[in-house]
């Protein structure tokens, strides 16, 4: 009898949620946040500012792979306007407890910065971006909320006509998402 009670107690304490896809989680999330470029003598405006975007991916035994996109509204000065769109892939690994999850990850892809002077014609500059970030997620059943901190690196550095310099920006975002 004690053995049966012990086995039943162990089964209840070690039970996990049932998953239709087994150990695979599909995630989709909306993102909103801000980013700002590091001080730069070549720029008088911030090519980032407030941004809206999203991500979708697959998590298997903690390994995460997905796609992400975000559009930063940028800023304007008396002479010009600048904004940035980023789209790419992400890879990471999720650590955590049932209360919260921590996911260090790296995003990489294309960053398009559009520079539009108020007088004359504008131009766009495409760069490879690399974005190491750390995401803290709190599961709420099927849903989750998250917050991240990111560093955006542009190894080509091409912004508003200057190039060859590593450009750096820092950002933070809030996420609201769902797991399937």
Checking if the pLDDT of 9 tops 50, the result is: no
Q: Which residues of 135-159 are buried (b: 16+ CB within 10 A; e: fewer)?
A: bebebeeeebebebebebbbebbbb
**pLDDT surpassing 80 at residue 13:** no
Q: Among residues of the chain, what percentage have pLDDT more than 70?
A: 81
Q: Could you tell me the domains of the chain?
A: 21-179 (2.40.160.20)
The stretch 65-69 carries a mean pLDDT of 98
What gap in Å lies between CA 118 and CA 113, rounded to an integer?
16
pLDDT of residue 100: 95
pLDDT at residue number 162: 52
Mean pLDDT of the 164-172 span:
85
34-55 as b/e: b if 16+ CB within 10 A: ebbbeebeebebbbbbebebbb
Kindly report, residue by residue over 104-140, the tens digit of the pLDDT. Answer: 999 999 999 898 887 777 888 888 999 999 999 999 9
Asked if 58 and 66 touch (Cβ cutoff 8 Å), the reply is: yes
* Tokens at 74, concatenated: 């940028």
**Distance separating alpha carbons of residues 45 and 37, to the nearest angstrom:** 9
> What is the reported pLDDT for 40?
67
């Amino acid at each position: 009898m004690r053995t049966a009670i012990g086995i039943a107690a162990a089964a209840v304490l070690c039970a996990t949620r049932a998953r239709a896809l087994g150990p695979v989680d599909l995630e989709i999330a909306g993102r909103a946040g801000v980013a700002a470029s590091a001080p730069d003598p070549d720029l008088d405006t911030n090519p980032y500012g407030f941004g809206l975007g999203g991500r979708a991916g697959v998590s298997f035994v903690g390994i995460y792979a997905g796609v992400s996109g975000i559009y930063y509204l940028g800023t304007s000065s008396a002479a010009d306007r600048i904004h940035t769109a980023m789209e790419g892939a992400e890879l990471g690994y999720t650590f955590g407890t049932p209360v919260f999850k921590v996911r260090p990850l790296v995003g990489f892809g294309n960053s398009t910065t559009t520079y539009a002077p108020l007088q004359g014609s504008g131009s766009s500059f495409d760069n490879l971006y690399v974005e190491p970030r750390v995401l803290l997620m709190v599961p709420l059943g099927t849903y989750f909320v998250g917050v991240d901190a990111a560093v955006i690196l542009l190894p080509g550095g091409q912004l508003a006509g200057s190039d060859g310099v590593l450009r750096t920006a820092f950002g933070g975002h809030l996420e609201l998402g769902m797991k399937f």
